[in-house]
Structure 1
Amino acid sequence: MKTVALRFSDKFAPDEGTIIAHENIIKGLGYVWYGKLGLPLSQKAIDYVKGNEDPKVLLIHSGKTMRYWAHVVEVLKGEPDIDGIPSYYRDNRDRFKTWFKVIKFEVAPKDIMSKCTVISSGAGLGEVSKHSMSPYFIIEVEGE
């Protein structure tokens, strides 16, 4: 499976953290908009995500060991409906250039990084993510 890996942190998140804050909206609406800060994803990256039978992106918690799969039903380069955006970043939503409509978060296996290869370099995601400032990576995931 080819998809995208995104970094995230809890720097601006409420006390419960990014993932739980997003899951709380899913409980009420059935979905949540997960925003990617900064430059938008390339169309090629979006096409990889949308081209999968079960579209999902890998979320890498910066500086921590937790990894999550975000199951995606839509990718948007415009502004989504405000109700589906977590309240803690609604006022800054113009800084997010790509939005993922997520219906479920799932803890990824502990060895997921060793199963991912960065397509542009052919190197393992675990090694590349340690030495790169890139906010996202297009990856091939073994066994998915």
Structure 2
Amino acid sequence: MNTIALRFADNFAPDMGTIAAHSELIEKYGYVWYGKLGSAVSQKVIDEIMNNNIPKILLIHSGKTGRYWAYIEKIQHEIPDKEKIPEYYRHNAGNFKTWFKVIRFENASSNVLSVCKVKSS
């Protein structure tokens, strides 16, 4: 399986945290958009992820032990429908270069990184 690992922090998230804020919209709409700051994910990497039987990305809680699999249906560079983005970062949507349409989150094992192979960073 080819995927990417992204770090996240709760610096600007509501008290419930990033994953819970995103999960609320999954419960309401069946999916949520998760934005990636920094450089955009290349089309080659997008294709590799989406060609997996079960496309997912790994989210790593920066400075904490939380690891989460985010199961995705789509990856795009265009800003999605803001109603499907958690409210706390809708106003900054233009700063995010890649968007992941997440249909569910699942806890990953705390040692998940020990069984991963890094191709680039």
Which of the five TM-score ranges fits, normalised by the shorter chain?
Answer: over 0.9
Contact 1:61-1:67 at 8 Å conserved across structures: yes
Partner of 1:23: 23
Contact 1:60-1:67 at 8 Å conserved across structures: yes
Q: TM (normalized to structure 1)?
A: 0.81
| CA deviations over 1:60-101 (Å, ceiling 9, x no partner) | 111111100000000011010111100000000000010000
Contact 1:4-1:48 at 8 Å conserved across structures: no
Unmatched segments (≥5 aa) in structure 1: 121-136, 138-144
Q: Distance in 2 between matches of 1:28 and 1:45?
A: 29
- Please tell me the residue identity of whatever aligns with 2:113: M
Unmatched segments (≥5 aa) in structure 2: none
- Please tell me the residue identity of whatever aligns with 1:111: N
| CA deviations over 1:1-45 (Å, ceiling 9, x no partner) | 111111111011000000000000000000000000121111222
Partner of 1:89: 89
More strand by share: 1
Q: Distance in 1 between matches of 2:115 and 2:99?
A: 25
Contact 1:8-1:62 at 8 Å conserved across structures: yes
- Please tell me the residue identity of whatever aligns with 2:94: D
Contact 1:33-1:102 at 8 Å conserved across structures: yes
> Is the counterpart of residue 109 in structure 1 residue 84 in structure 2?
no
Q: Distance in 2 between matches of 1:71 and 1:62?
A: 20
Structure 1: which 4+ aligned runs deviate by more than 4 Å? none
Q: Distance in 2 between matches of 1:87 and 1:109?
A: 29
Q: Distance in 2 between matches of 1:8 and 1:47?
A: 23
Q: Superposition pairs for residues 29-40 of structure 1, below 5 Å? A: 29-40=29-40
Partner of 2:47: 47
Q: Distance in 1 between matches of 2:24 and 2:45?
A: 27
Q: Distance in 2 between matches of 1:26 and 1:66?
A: 19
Q: Distance in 2 between matches of 1:13 and 1:22?
A: 10
Q: TM (normalized to structure 2)?
A: 0.96
RMSD value, Cα: 0.9
SS in 1 for 2:75: strand
In percent, how many aligned pairs have the same letter?
57
Larger radius of gyration: 1
